[in-house]
Amino acid sequence: MAEAINTFQIIGQEQTRKYWNTLIVSGRFGHAHILSGHSGVGKDALAFYIAAALNCRAEENKPCGSCIACRQLQNLEYSALYLIFALPRRSASQTDPFAGIKESEMDLINEELSKKIAWPYYHLQIEGANDIRISGIRKLRKDIYLSIDPGTTRVVIILRAHKMNIEAANALLKILEEPPSGTVFLLTTEYLDRLPDTIRSRCAVHHMPDLNWELIKNDLTEKKGLNQVQSEICARMSMGDLAAAHTFAEQDNTFWLDRIRATLNTLAGSDFVSVHKQVLQLKDKELENDESRQQFLSLLILFFRDVALQVKDGETTLWVPQVQQMIKLFPNCNSHAAIQAIERTKDALERKVHLQLALTALFFELRKHLKGQTL
Ligand SMILES: [Zn+2]
């Protein structure tokens, strides 16, 4: 399957792909599947890959990536592919999901789709596209019971299927209960539990594991031309989300390292005033929005993980000297408790608690954990 690997630019997931190849070849292939997993692990890319494998004209090593079916699928223009995703509500039409969408808006939607074609990990960003409504599913039902060329497998891909509202889900359920022949449904979602039980029980659920950060790092070095430090910081900040990592890669992230270093220096010192100063500095200048706060705290968690693992040169490019200095200064550091404290603060900030208070409380708690003191 050497050729097949990069047809849809899938990163990692060798086991998943092997599993699907075996399943498709075996012919014991159900008609409805849910691909679940965290954001950015490659669920949509896998769905396109499966659609191509089912329709590829090559004798073996499907999807070949070069036959007419593979190429059309890569361009999302295969006639037996039905791609469903959330659209803005511009009319009350119950049968046409595109009703009322202006030409200029349609151009923007097509632009988003071409980004998805260029890179299947891309998250469509369509303004006002909050849910998948019944019009989209009714339109599908109108089309998919028509006859189809022999040797073709009709593939319905529903992106972020948890965005289906209840009416749409019920309409889909009816189709799943009486599926048209030669049709495969692939629903992708990062929130499996938001799909109704009735849908879940009609589908085979396949979980895609998280991506190892080293895979993401290599991808960033290769595709974005980042240096080792930059690609590692983006990869680790992304928490296994390749799409997020690529977004981080658009900006310079080395300043995060400086923030972490400055914070650690403050924590290591015994001076209370400098803790308050550091909190104010972070609050006023560096952590302006929710996203940056979460990133900063995520990185702080990564740092304490590396302290717990006692990472050495070669295992990370980010902060080996700082990790070793911490271990030397604080041999009794309770990294586990420190990580828990940071996670609690992340949670609290999502619930919009007062930033300055939350950080001050966290930093004083971290000082205790560094010394291995119980609270
Ligand atoms: Zn092919």
For ligand 1, the distance from its centroid to the CA atom of residue 9, given in whole angstroms, is: 15
Helical H segments across the chain, by residue range: 14-26, 43-55, 68-74, 103-118, 134-144, 166-177, 197-202, 213-224, 228-237, 242-248, 254-268, 272-281, 290-309, 320-329, 335-350, 355-370
Query: Is the pLDDT confidence value at 96 over 90?
Result: yes
| pLDDT tens digits along 339-370 | 999 999 998 988 888 999 999 999 999 999 99
For ligand 1, the distance from its centroid to the CA atom of residue 305, given in whole angstroms, is: 44
Tokens representing 11 are 């990163």
Burial of residue 292 (CB within 10 Å: 0-12, 13-18, 19+) is: middle
| pLDDT tens digits along 278-289 | 898 888 888 888
For ligand 1, the distance from its centroid to the CA atom of residue 76, given in whole angstroms, is: 14
Residue pair 34/161 in contact (Cβ under 8 Å)? The answer is: yes
For ligand 1, the distance from its centroid to the CA atom of residue 51, given in whole angstroms, is: 10
CATH architecture entry for 4-210:
3-Layer(aba) Sandwich (3.40)
- Residue 157 is inside which H or E element, if any? strand 154-158
For ligand 1, the distance from its centroid to the CA atom of residue 58, given in whole angstroms, is: 5
For ligand 1, the distance from its centroid to the CA atom of residue 162, given in whole angstroms, is: 30
Least confident of 122-136, 151-165, 302-316: 302-316
Q: What's the CA gap between 178 and 185, in Å, rounded?
A: 12
Tokens representing 298 are 């995520």
**CA distances (Å), origin 289, targets 145, 186, 210:** 49, 36, 26
**CA distances (Å), origin 320, targets 34, 314, 316, 366:** 41, 9, 7, 20
Q: Report the chain's mean pLDDT, rounded to a whole number.
A: 90
Query: Is the pLDDT confidence value at 290 over 60?
Result: yes
For ligand 1, the distance from its centroid to the CA atom of residue 4, given in whole angstroms, is: 9
pTM (2 d.p.)? 0.81
Residue pair 35/208 in contact (Cβ under 8 Å)? The answer is: yes
| pLDDT tens digits along 29-40 | 899 999 999 999
| pLDDT tens digits along 41-78 | 999 999 999 999 999 999 988 899 999 999 999 999 99
Over range 206-215, report the average pLDDT: 92
| Residue whose pair of structure tokens reads 């599947």 in the numeric block | 33
Q: What are the DSSP calls for 88-116, one per residue?
A: ---S--SS-TTTT--HHHHHHHHHHHHHH
Closest CA to 156 of 188, 199, 123: 188
Residue 4 confidence (pLDDT): 43
